[in-house]
Chain A
Amino acid sequence: MRITILRGGGLPGIVARTELDTAALPKTAAKAFASEVARANLGECPAPPTANPWPDAQLYELRVEESGPVINVRYTEQSLPESVRLLVAWVDGRPEKVESIET
């Protein structure tokens, strides 16, 4: 399984990419990764459109690829569910993640 998190907008308007692949993780972390993704309910509860965006708030896109269909969902800071915020924080906390700035 592979997750790609894009964060854009925000005060700087910079687009940051964070990627994490199961293949890079130790076995126990890989299991935890799967469970964090499942708990985030990405496919089941996607973001509602935001009518009045908060100025400078970040926009998020999460893409999860595994054996089934690709899950690709977008959130705003306003619509980001707590479960997805926790998933993003979990990925951010992994030393195996790969980060880059999109230009």
Chain B
Amino acid sequence: MEEATMKHNNGSILCSIAPPDLLGRLAVEGTPKQREAAVRALATSAAIRSQRAVMGRINRQLRLNIGQMIGFAVTPERRLTVYDNQHQGRTFLPGVQMRGWEEPPVKDEAVNQAYDGSNATYEFYRDIFDRNSLDGAGLELISSVHYGVAFDNAFWDGAQMVYGDGSGRIFQIGGLTRSLDVIAHELTHGITELTAGLIYSKQPGALNESFSDVFGSLVKQYSLGQSAADADWLIGGGILLPALGTALRSMLHPGTAYSGDRQPGHMDNYVDLPDDNDPRNDNGGVHINSGIPNRAFALAALALGGNAWDKAGRIWYQALTTRLRPNSQFKEAAQATVDLAGTLFSSSERDAVHGAWKEVGVLS
């Protein structure tokens, strides 16, 4: 058989006859009730996306907190909304509103878990870093649950968190919204997007992933009142099928979380993969090589002692929000955290952070 060449969209007219998305179709062809619901959902989705695209661009270009900008209203109160995607997909995001801020729990456990996890993450950033939501100005936290059918993933789509139910073949059913560190991981992608803007590819992408793991783990540790020494340093513990493994990642011992875990814990084992949309290559190994900065953080936190959010967390937070750029590499991130440890604390903290990056082979 002849192997067809991998094709990309060349703008041919054939692509324009692909079936229109479900909402668009319902808005035109549905019953009056369907049309009303579809138009409302389309308007919500478009408003969220355009607002966030503009905010993100301005934040990154001007390095400003949105609250500093004239003309933008700062919301002092938190805003948090959970939607039900009703097992559809991208074209039905966010879906049907299920629970807004300060509304009582609903019958759907996934909705309540997404609500509570977002709220705990909001409170962590507010209490520890004096940050009002993702943009520092009270941006509404939007989550959609029940994405797709038996969907084995959770992601950040540039505007909101999205959670599948899990299929019971990789993730335990209901596991993704049950995991506070997964929720905090996804929300931190929003902060990264609005601050450093680390591109999602190769080393900047692995740093992007690592910052989400770092703050995902810190939100969990904070909620449990755990010190660095007491923490398990696992991401997504207990949400994979037990036959696959105990967690998605181990920050302290990368490569040991599940059977087939390819994460390295040292630059000697860095996995150099192309960023070519091949599912095997993970955007250039972003979930693989994040093991290296993850281990550096865990080692630094253990060396600094106490609660990881007090010193190590503050250093990493400052690096993410004030020092790093879209194309930052591991070495730049390492040097930024070393410098910040000295500035925010003292030379002993500086040496501890340097030692952690040295142990994973990023600094010498």
Q: How many residues of B contact A (CB 8 A)?
A: 65
Size bin of chain A's contact surface: 35 or more
Interface membership of A22, Cβ < 8 A: no
Contacting residues of chain A (45-84) with chain B, CB-CB under 8 angstroms? 45-50, 52-61, 65, 68-78, 80-83
Secondary structure at the B interface, as helix, strand, loop or mixed, is: loop
CB of B154 within 8 A of chain A? yes
Tell me the B136-191 residues at the A interface (CB within 8 Å).
148-150, 152-158, 167, 169-171, 176, 182, 185-186, 189
In the complex, chain B residues whose CB is within 8 Å of the CB of A78: 90, 157
Known: A7-B279, A59-B278, A70-B4. 13 other contacts (CB 8 A): A6-B279, A8-B282, A10-B155, A11-B176, A12-B152, A12-B153, A56-B186, A58-B155, A59-B283, A65-B1, A69-B1, A82-B89, A85-B90
**B156 lies within 8 A of A56 (CB):** yes
Check if A23 is an interface residue, CB within 8 A of chain B: no
Q: Mark B258-273, 1 if CB is under 8 A from A, else 0.
A: 1110100000000000
In the complex the two chains form, is A48's CB within 8 Å of B153's CB? Answer: no
Chain B contacts for A81, CB-based, 8 A: 18-19
Q: Tell me if B364 is interfacial: C-beta within 8 Å of chain A.
A: no
**Considering the chains assembled together, what is the distance between the CA atoms of A69 and B5 in angstroms?**
10
Partner of B157, one of A7, A12, A57, A70: A57
Report the 10 A-B pairs with minimum CB-CB distance, sorted nearest first. A8-B279, A13-B287, A103-B260, A48-B9, A56-B155, A55-B189, A46-B7, A59-B279, A10-B153, A44-B14
Please, how many angstroms separate the alpha-carbon atoms of A69 and B7 in the complex?
13
A41: B residues at CB distance < 8 A: 14, 17-18
**Interface Cβ pair total, 8 Å cutoff:** 177
CB pair B15–A45 under 8 Å, yes or no, is: yes
Question: Complex Cα distance A50/B192, Å?
Answer: 19
Are A58 and B169 in contact (CB-based, < 8 A)?
no
Show 5 A/B contacts (Cβ-Cβ < 8 Å), sorted by A.
A12-B248, A46-B9, A77-B157, A78-B157, A82-B22
Contact B9 A61 (CB under 8 A): no
B residues 176-210 near A (Cβ < 8 Å) are: 176, 182, 185-186, 189, 192-193, 199-201, 208-209
CB distance from B75 to the nearest CB of A (A): 24
A70 to B182, Cβ gap below 8 A? no
The residue among A60, A82, A83, A93 with the most chain B CB atoms within 10 A of its own CB is A82
